[in-house]
C-alpha cells in the first residue's frame, strides 16, 4: 500500500480533491470563474477557515460587505464566520485554490512536525 495519493486534474468550474486524494485533515478545491461570473451564493462556515490562493486572473471577494480585490499571486485567509462571495472581473477570468481546515487545529508545523 502506497503512502501517497496522486491525481491529475484538468481545468473545470470546480474540482474537489477530498475524495480524489483521500484527504483526512483538509478539503481542497480548485475553482475557475469565467470573466463576469460569480459564485452563485454567499456562504460562511461553522468551524472551517478557508485559505485561498489566486492562480491566475483577477476579480474580487466580498467579505462581510467589504470588497477585496484579488489578482494572481494573492493569498487570503477568511475566518469561518466571514460571509463571502467570489466574483471574476468583467474583463478577466479568475482561477483559485481553496484550502479548508478546522480553525485553530494546527498543533505543529514544518520543522516541529518533521521526523528525520
> Among 95, 99, 87, 86, which residue's Cα sits nearest to residue 48?
99
For 51-76, the pLDDT digits (tens) are 999 999 999 999 999 999 999 999 99
Question: Can you give the pTM of this predicted structure?
Answer: 0.88
* Whole-number Å distance between alpha carbons of 112 and 116: 11
- pLDDT tens digits, one per residue of 18-44: 888 889 889 999 999 999 999 999 999
Distant-in-sequence, close-in-space partners of 90: CB < 8 Å, separation ≥ 6: 35, 36
Amino acid at each position: 500500500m502506497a503512502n501517497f495519493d496522486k491525481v491529475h486534474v484538468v481545468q473545470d468550474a470546480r474540482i474537489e480533491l477530498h475524495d480524489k486524494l483521500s484527504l483526512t485533515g483538509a478539503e481542497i478545491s480548485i475553482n475557475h470563474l469565467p470573466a463576469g461570473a460569480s459564485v452563485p451564493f454567499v456562504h460562511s462556515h461553522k468551524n472551517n477557515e478557508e485559505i485561498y490562493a489566486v492562480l491566475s486572473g483577477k476579480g474580487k471577494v466580498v467579505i462581510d460587505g467589504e470588497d477585496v480585490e484579488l489578482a494572481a499571486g494573492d493569498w487570503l485567509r477568511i475566518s469561518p464566520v466571514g460571509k463571502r462571495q467570489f466574483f471574476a472581473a468583467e474583463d478577466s477570468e479568475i482561477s483559485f485554490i481553496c484550502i479548508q481546515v478546522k480553525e485553530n487545529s494546527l498543533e505543529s508545523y514544518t520543522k516541529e512536525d518533521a521526523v528525520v
